[in-house]
Structure 1
Amino acid sequence: MMGAMMGATPRAALRTEPEFQLITFFRFAAIEDPRAEVERHRAHIARNGWELRGRIYVNEQGINAQMSGRGREGEAYAKWVESDARFSGMRISVYPMEEQAHPRLALRYKPNLVQLEGGTNHLPLTDREARAKPLSPKEWHENLIKVNAGEADAPLLLDVRNGYEWDVGHFRGAERPVQESFRETVYTNVQDGLGPLAGIDKSKPIMMYCTGGIRCDVYSTVLREQGYTNVMTLEGGVQAYFDEYGKRGDQLWDDHLFVFDSRLAMAPDGRPSAELGEDAATLRCYCCGENTAPPPHRNCPNVDCNRLFLVCPGCSDKLDGFCCEACTKASHIRPSLVNPGRYEKYSNYDSPESRAARRGPGRSNRKVRRRQRRKLELAAYVLEHMTSVDESRARLVQSTGGTFADRTRSLIDASRTIVVEDEDDDDNDQADESDSEEGTINPALSRYSKQRATLREAYALLAKDQRTPENLVEAAEKIAEERKRMKRSEHEAKTPMICL
């Protein structure tokens, strides 16, 4: 499929031999012995002496590759894969590079080609009819015009990438994803009060996109299982759209595209965003909130924080590359990167003296701090997405009066029937899974959904002037403790005493 393969390569690059190439492709296909398939690929690469780096994952459902190679070696490997009847016709994207885009080669068997809560082995990925209808870039563009014009029959536009990818760039009219991680998508998009699909007619057209298309194809089988009947995807992902519309004046992509290789971000015209200079500084700075940050993201040098964030040059200089004042005072740090990129393993920056200073409870304390930071971020998100139902429940709980503990017990008592029903549903779902080869997807079972539900309960306990992320997390922890205490009391009341 040479037309698709070369569509991502600028004409100038076709006239000269590239020093390196970045290659991406995937294909769903039934592979009887994926581990033997991995060895076959490894032997072919070694036999040809190709210098390939990146990620090539194989399992029973197909292959997924993001890698780079010297000269045209990566392209030769991709064409060799495509010559196999099982992978025939797959789309191959090729980009010229000045250096390898990945540090090393990881060619291996992987249980899931993409990370999704509950796994992907039970999903019918190899069944073309079970996946969404693919739209060509032209068809996608025409529908995107309808979305931005607000036409009555316009589809719902859904970005299924990670939240931090949206921050770098997105299709015009696309809302920021509810989830920070794609693996949560199964649950977050349909969650009442938060998800963009919650409460919509399941026959409504849904058009969704991701970088290269594989995440959309996987998630489309989930949506079909959840009952959504009119699901469409952008064939080839955003990369395919850039091939056709990236250099046109009517293209409908805002800012840059986050990519998972050494470029970190690319412009619609195919250039690495780093080549755009000051013209790339259009993104929202995490520190000051101004739209003056260039891509790509940086990791905070504080190892205990490691926040992935966008920062403008002014804030970067002011905070010496850290994400906030508190992190500048941390002791477990790496040197600030002069140029954006990936940090190496911390051992490369560490010393025997600093390791000795961190012995004892330091490691567990760092885990506690990271866990607390994630809780605060989730609480801040929940506060931003409260609904009228949450407000009504809050007014009802506040009107009962009493101490905080009294209100907590009342709230738990009011939800006990629902909790019992959920537990019964859990049992039924587990029984269904054991009776069939395919797993089932139940959004109520997600730990993300349960965490959000508890935070929304905590919201009802707090007065308006107390609703901060810190107070919300503290109240949620008290609810969890009270719920455990009440269950223990019930268990003790039911357990007969043994007299000796």
Structure 2
Amino acid sequence: MSILYNLISKKELKKRIFSETEPRLTLSFYKYFSIENTQEYRDEFYKNFNKYNVLGRIYIATEGINAQISIPKKNYFLLKNFLYNFNLELKNLRINKSLNNEKSFWFLSVKVREKIVQDGIKQDFFNPKNVGTYIKSKTVNSMLSDKKIIFIDMRNSYEYAIGHFENAIEIKSLTFREQLKKLIPLMKYAKNKKIVMYCTGGIRCEKASAWMRFNGFKHIYHIKGGIIGYVHDARKNGLPVLFKGKNFVFDNRMGEKISDEIISFCKQCNQLSDTYVNCKYNSCHLLFIQCEKCSINFKNCCSSNCMEKI
């Protein structure tokens, strides 16, 4: 019987991936659809992903699948073929390629969860498939120039800090669940206005757009493939990329540079910076923005207090 979980220490796996020279792709994909036997689904995914040397995290729930992964470039089409043929719902699944291919993951984790995105929604009759209208880069750019159209950023505040569309509304929060709770009361004045929602790869704004429609909002749009999809589509079609700053990502890279503009500031000296780090003092491990000068002065810590404790 196959061992369907990792047995090697993460420290050793990290060492291996950073010594690896084989080119890799960082990918993400998701799909909302009904899965009955989530454990069986999970085991099949682990077995096949492990075979293709996939690294990253995959969440499986009765509502669907959500994945952020890294794979050797040579295995990309093998993985794609597996996904497209594994289940009819995954046929022609949209797979987002990252904007850069720096080292992102070093171990494989496939987990069964209650939901693929924790949203706090309790209503049994809420339909996550009743989504807003998908739009691509040409329409996005056109709508950005119309001041009557509202753009809402469906990411956490620390993601918004280093990059966003100009004048996009930030729903201040640290989790998607917290954000959805605030969303409807905050936007009730705009029930009949045109609203565009976006997030990193599309999974959060897709569910948020369905939640808005469920709550009576009339004209809801969301960007196909999220920020990543928008940038790829704009570049492919020779259109200006209007996203400013960096796109935050939940892996070792912590960000993908999209424009040359830096719109955020170092927590310690308040100079322009868009580099996220975790405080080196493990008992703190705070995620914060730190410039190169302060990383030297504070020895990669968030404060003098943490620096003294190391």
TM-score calculated relative to the size of structure 1:
0.53
SS of the residue 2:241 aligns to = coil
Question: Corresponding residue for 1:255?
Answer: 245
Deviations 1:449-480 (A, max 9, x none): xxxxxxxxxxxxxxxxxxxxxxxxxxxxxxxx
| Residues 1:221 and 2:224 are matched in the alignment | no
Shift of 1:122: 6.0
Question: Taking structure 1 as reference, are residues 288 and 64 closer, same or farther at Cα in structure 2, changes over 3 Å only?
Answer: same
Question: Corresponding residue for 1:137?
Answer: 137
Question: Taking structure 1 as reference, are residues 115 and 64 closer, same or farther at Cα in structure 2, changes over 3 Å only?
Answer: same
Question: Corresponding residue for 1:283?
Answer: 264
Match for 1:318: what amino acid?
N
Identity across the alignment (%): 25
| Greater C-alpha Rg | 1
Match for 1:32: what amino acid?
E
Q: Is the 8 A contact 2:165 2:244 kept in 1?
A: yes
Match for 1:284: what amino acid?
F
Q: Is the 8 A contact 2:165 2:243 kept in 1?
A: yes
Question: Corresponding residue for 1:328?
Answer: 307
Q: Is the 8 A contact 1:165 1:258 kept in 2?
A: yes
Question: Taking structure 1 as reference, are residues 124 and 307 closer, same or farther at Cα in structure 2, changes over 3 Å only?
Answer: same
| Residues 1:169 and 2:163 are matched in the alignment | yes
CA distance in 2, matches of 1:302, 1:37: 38
Deviations 1:339-385 (A, max 9, x none): xxxxxxxxxxxxxxxxxxxxxxxxxxxxxxxxxxxxxxxxxxxxxxx
Shift of 1:54: 0.6
Question: Taking structure 1 as reference, are residues 74 and 34 closer, same or farther at Cα in structure 2, changes over 3 Å only?
Answer: farther
Deviations 1:168-193 (A, max 9, x none): 111122133321222201222244xx
CA distance in 1, matches of 2:123, 2:65: 13
| Residues 1:97 and 2:132 are matched in the alignment | no
SS of the residue 1:27 aligns to = strand
Shift of 1:26: 1.0
CA distance in 1, matches of 2:75, 2:123: 31
Higher relative contact order (CA 8 A, sep 6+): 2
| Residues 1:160 and 2:171 are matched in the alignment | no
Q: Is the 8 A contact 1:21 1:72 kept in 2?
A: no
CA distance in 2, matches of 1:252, 1:304: 39
| Residues 1:40 and 2:44 are matched in the alignment | yes
Q: 5+ unaligned residues in a row in structure 1: which ranges?
A: 1-16, 270-278, 334-500
Q: Is the 8 A contact 2:102 2:253 kept in 1?
A: no
Question: Corresponding residue for 1:306?
Answer: 285
CA distance in 1, matches of 2:252, 2:111: 21
Question: Is the helix fraction higher in 1 or 2?
Answer: 1
Match for 1:107: what amino acid?
V
Q: 5+ unaligned residues in a row in structure 2: which ranges?
A: 1-20
Q: Is the 8 A contact 2:184 2:215 kept in 1?
A: no
Q: Is the 8 A contact 2:65 2:116 kept in 1?
A: yes
Question: Corresponding residue for 1:435?
Answer: none
Q: Is the 8 A contact 1:22 1:74 kept in 2?
A: no
SS of the residue 1:260 aligns to = coil
CA distance in 2, matches of 1:262, 1:229: 39
CA distance in 2, matches of 1:98, 1:307: 23
CA distance in 1, matches of 2:277, 2:228: 23
Alignment partner for residue 24 of structure 1, among 24, 28, 31?
A: 28
TM-score calculated relative to the size of structure 2:
0.83
Q: Aligned ranges for residues 189-208 of structure 1 at < 5 Å?
A: 189-191=183-185, 195=186, 197=187, 199-208=188-197
SS of the residue 1:72 aligns to = helix
CA distance in 2, matches of 1:122, 1:73: 40
Q: Is the 8 A contact 1:28 1:62 kept in 2?
A: yes
Question: Is the strand fraction higher in 1 or 2?
Answer: 2
Q: Is the 8 A contact 1:63 1:113 kept in 2?
A: yes
Shift of 1:53: 0.8
Shift of 1:320: 2.4
CA distance in 1, matches of 2:29, 2:207: 15
Q: Aligned ranges for residues 484-495 of structure 1 at < 5 Å?
A: none
Question: Taking structure 1 as reference, are residues 66 and 313 closer, same or farther at Cα in structure 2, changes over 3 Å only?
Answer: same
When structure 1 is superposed on structure 2, of 251-260 and 207-216 the one drifting more is: 251-260
Q: Is the 8 A contact 2:246 2:274 kept in 1?
A: no
Count of matched residue positions in the alignment of Structure 1 and Structure 2: 287
Shift of 1:314: 2.4
Alignment partner for residue 256 of structure 2, among 242, 258, 266?
A: 266
CA distance in 1, matches of 2:22, 2:241: 28
SS of the residue 1:256 aligns to = strand
Question: Corresponding residue for 1:442?
Answer: none
Question: Taking structure 1 as reference, are residues 312 and 41 closer, same or farther at Cα in structure 2, changes over 3 Å only?
Answer: closer
Question: Taking structure 1 as reference, are residues 256 and 225 closer, same or farther at Cα in structure 2, changes over 3 Å only?
Answer: same
SS of the residue 1:69 aligns to = strand
CA distance in 2, matches of 1:115, 1:251: 30
Question: Corresponding residue for 1:242?
Answer: 231
Shift of 1:18: 6.6
Alignment partner for residue 174 of structure 2, among 177, 180, 187?
A: 180
Q: Is the 8 A contact 1:19 1:98 kept in 2?
A: no
Q: Is the 8 A contact 2:35 2:64 kept in 1?
A: yes
Question: Taking structure 1 as reference, are residues 52 and 236 closer, same or farther at Cα in structure 2, changes over 3 Å only?
Answer: same
Match for 1:210: what amino acid?
C
Q: Aligned ranges for residues 425-440 of structure 1 at < 5 Å?
A: none
Match for 1:41: what amino acid?
F
Question: Corresponding residue for 1:232?
Answer: 221
